[in-house]
Amino acid sequence: MKNDIQTKANSKMTVEEISNKYNGGKKIIDFVGKKKIFFGISIAVILIGIICNFVFGTRLDIQFSGGATIKFSYTGSIDQEELYSFIQAKTTDKITTSFSKDLMGNSGNNVSVQFSGNDSIETEIQKSLENDLQEKYPDNNFVCLESNSVDPSMGFNFFLKCLTAVAIASVLMVLYVTFRFKKIGGLSAGVMALVALFHDVAMIYFMYVIFQMPIDSSFIAVVLMILGYSLNDTIVIYDRVREERKLVGSKADVGDVFNLSCTKTIKRTIMTSITTLSAIVVVYVVAFVFNISSVQGFALPMMIGIVSGCYSSICIAGPLWVMWQRHKKSQKTVK
Amino acid sequence: MKRVPKPVFFIVALLILAFSFTALFGVSYYTGDNKNTVLKGIGDIRWGIDIRGGVEATFKPANNVDATDEQLESAKSIIELRMVSQGITDYELYADKGSDRIIVRFPWKSEDDTQNAVEAIDEISSTAQLTFRPGKSYASTDIGSDGSYVYKTPTGDTETVLMDGSYIEKAEAQYYQADDGTRKYVVSLTFKDSGDKNGKERFGEITTEYVNQTISIWMDDIMLSAPTVNSAITDGKAQIEGDFTAEEASQLAEKINAGALPFQLETSNYGVISATLGENSLLAMGYAAVIAFIIIALIMIVFYRLPGFIAVISLIGQMGLAIAAVSGYFTAIPSFTMTLPGIAGLILSIGMGVDCNVITAERIKEEIKAGRTLDGALDRGTKNSLSAIIDGNMTVIIVSIILMLVFGPSNILSIIFGESTTGTIYSFGYTLLVGVIANFIMGVFFTRIMLRSVAGFKFLRKKWLFGGAKNEK
């Protein structure tokens, strides 16, 4: 609080003056002043996520961890336990089965068999399993729908490669922001934008943990998409700060300038987020109706990412940037 | 403000709509039953195996053999050969020299069952072992696809292996003029003449030992030919004679070259995706796209009125451009394999396009509310929103280029991590990049031209239409 009083005393312009002069007398929303609430919410969500991470653990998809799954479709009804023990008897690996209903296809029901262990399975096993099932249940039309078998070393390599791609993209984006926003303390803007990005990636990750979704290549694609989307949000606000600062000049406090810029862009932020969000909600609902799990697994984290990306730009990156600028200023005055 | 002539709006809008219509639906005409495609549309897009169903498999040398680059290349060309011989012509094939992997993807039609797909993988990867054995006894016969007998399973004498394919340098199909003037096709073998697999020396020893006897040449389980040794051959060259046609001779030579591989291939990864699921996904994504676009259009027009309407036209143009870049509409840009993540990238780029139009429209609205004239508001609104749009889109371009470099053919990280099995992320990057470039052309350039042109019409010069309050003129 002490800091606030000090900056107010130093500045020559009050919030009211800025509001009258630069916002047509309309109220400026005080985003920076509520930073404790915002940080509190984010820290709480992150803590819950970390606790869940310890309780549930993370599941890597076989794309990354290696392993094998085979998905069969069948018609009619089947004793699920009997089917499980029948398949289990055919292999030395421990298996888990999960059953689902295909709402769209003509195939009826699906069963997916996951083999334990992280090794890929031989093509022989798949061939014989399909034959065995067709022999055992001649009336149920067992057909292999999908199969996937990944060698663990390759899967892990792919995972590392994805992480490296994310890291390279992040560094380049921060460099770009640092260069383009020199006027408003480029590096601080870039670093705080990066903090907001980490925030968003954490949110998506925790969503995967809480919903027990395995980390797969669509996780990587979603993370990359949200990195771009959230940074775009942050940049639009920074761009406005850059512009307003030129207009208002250094007479006003950085916090007030940020609040002014944010108030002026809030409509755009909300409109864009609602439009993009509604498009993705449509994709999700359609995928849900047609039971396309791959697209569902893609759209759900995207929705969370868009909300988080919009929130983190206004409530995390901005206030942090203001704190950094104030800190720099107070150091200057001390000297 | 720089005025843009009134007719420009209609010309631009019509051009955009006409272009997008042809890009979406394609242009083709029928001569009899033949379809002649003039311009490619959505129907001509090559869909990835996650959409139309297909097979992906990764092969590596068995027993952790370290293959040389040359060996890997020849393994790749052998796989290529086998795919073609199985009638699979539309495939993607990569050899990754860093990690000794060969990755193959090919579509699999719904009417073929997955059982055959697994067999196809097995067949493609089964690197046949060429062997030379004494005698020509066999345990079983089969009828080959051309109706001739195929002799199988070595027995008795032929259970001994004298030499295998790794001693052979290369095999070639050749022909010579026989005494009666007809062409005789043979397969000529050249043995290696150095190293620990010295075929020249070994073959010399064998032919000395088995002179005037029969040696049989086998590929795996199948006897290819059983020539009689006329004299010891010590020059490192041999010919396999038989009643070959030109095609048979070259096939045999290829098979021997295949058998000359020093390692067997092992399937390390494979995946079979059924097309039924894929077709449903595609249909669903089609519904999703149409519904999502209608919602976006409604939001834009309700909230931003005239600029919203223009935004919808330019969004249609952006979609048309992005799809044209994928389908091969422009002959200069080759068609691209579209996957589900690719569609997601397209949706994201449309989102960026919406954002670009929202920023511009919102800014014009703001300037009008600040009390500027319509022309002044248009001028300042478009000018002030430009930097935000450019910075925002540039960062997305950076992301998409990184994705393309890492997961695409150039594969900048493959030295460290090896070729990835999932090329689908590359298509996310590609569609995102073309989508954002299309956004620059449509959302930045054409939206602004149309806005200025429309502002020239007297009956449209109402601030309300540009986002002002209702009673303002």
Choose from A152-161, B347-356, B457-466 the range with maximum mean pLDDT: B347-356
User: Please, what is the end-to-end C-alpha distance for chain B in angstroms?
Assistant: 19
Q: What is the pLDDT along chain A (335 residues), one digit of tens a residue?
A: 444 444 444 545 777 777 777 776 678 888 888 989 999 999 999 999 999 888 888 777 776 777 778 878 777 777 888 888 888 877 777 777 777 765 544 556 777 787 766 666 666 677 777 778 888 888 777 777 777 777 776 667 777 777 888 888 888 888 888 888 888 877 888 889 889 988 999 999 998 888 888 887 678 778 877 887 888 889 999 999 999 888 887 777 888 889 999 998 998 999 999 998 998 898 889 888 887 777 787 788 889 989 999 999 999 999 999 999 888 888 877 76
Residue A226: which of A202, A205, A200, A199 has the closest Cα? A200
Residue type, A76: G
**Contact residues on chain A for B408, CB-CB shorter than 8 A:** none
**Contact residues on chain B for A164, CB-CB shorter than 8 A:** 406, 413, 416-417
Quote the pLDDT of residue B194: 76
Asked if A231 and B384 come within 8 Å (Cβ–Cβ), the reply is no
* Residue B244 CB partners (closer than 8 Å, separation 6+): B173, B185, B186, B187, B252
Q: B271 at the A interface (CB within 8 A)?
A: yes
Gap from B253 CA to chain A (nearest CA, Å): 29
- Whether the CB-CB separation of B337 and B47 falls below 8 Å is answered with yes
Over the stretch B81-139, which tens digit does the pLDDT of each residue have?
A: 667 656 666 777 777 776 777 888 887 654 555 556 777 777 777 655 678 888 888 88
Q: B281 at the A interface (CB within 8 A)?
A: yes
What is the spatial distance between Cα A218 and Cα A220, in angstroms, rounded to a whole number? 5
Quote the pLDDT of residue B421: 43
| Alpha-helical regions (H) of B339-457 | 340-369, 374-407, 414-417, 424-439, 447-454
Q: A130 at the B interface (CB within 8 A)?
A: yes
**Contact residues on chain A for B424, CB-CB shorter than 8 A:** 217
| A window 140-159, beta carbon within 8 A of B | 143-151, 154, 157-158
- Residue B302 pLDDT exceeds 60: yes
Quote the pLDDT of residue A1: 44
- Residue B276 pLDDT exceeds 60: no
Over the stretch B246-260, which tens digit does the pLDDT of each residue have?
A: 777 777 777 677 665
pLDDT classification of B287: cutoffs 50, 70, 90? confident
Q: B344 at the A interface (CB within 8 A)?
A: yes
Whether the ipTM is more than 0.90: the answer is no
Over the stretch A66-86, which tens digit does the pLDDT of each residue have?
A: 777 887 877 777 788 888 888
What is the spatial distance between Cα B37 and Cα B22, in angstroms, rounded to a whole number? 11
Gap from A334 CA to chain B (nearest CA, Å): 35
**Contact residues on chain B for A151, CB-CB shorter than 8 A:** 58, 60, 268-269
Asked if A144 and B354 come within 8 Å (Cβ–Cβ), the reply is no
Residue A184: which of B393, B396, B391 has the closest Cα? B391
Q: Which of B348, B407, B418 sits opposite A225 (nearest CB)?
A: B348
- Whether the CB-CB separation of B346 and A221 falls below 8 Å is answered with no
How much is the mean pLDDT over chain B?
Answer: 79
Residue B350: which of A188, A279, A203 has the closest Cα? A279
Asked if A286 and B347 come within 8 Å (Cβ–Cβ), the reply is no
What is the spatial distance between Cα A328 and Cα B255, in angstroms, rounded to a whole number? 74
Q: B124 at the A interface (CB within 8 A)?
A: no
Largest CA distance in chain B: 110
What is the spatial distance between Cα B355 and Cα B362, in angstroms, rounded to a whole number? 10
The nearest alpha carbon in chain A to B343 belongs to A295
Gap from B116 CA to chain A (nearest CA, Å): 9
B315 burial via Cβ count (<10 Å: 0-12, 13-18, 19+) = buried
Q: A165 at the B interface (CB within 8 A)?
A: yes
Residue B15, CB-side half-sphere exposure with 13 Å CA sphere:
9
The nearest alpha carbon in chain B to A303 belongs to B348
Residue A285: which of A103, A111, A110 has the closest Cα? A103
Tokens in use for B255?
């098979």
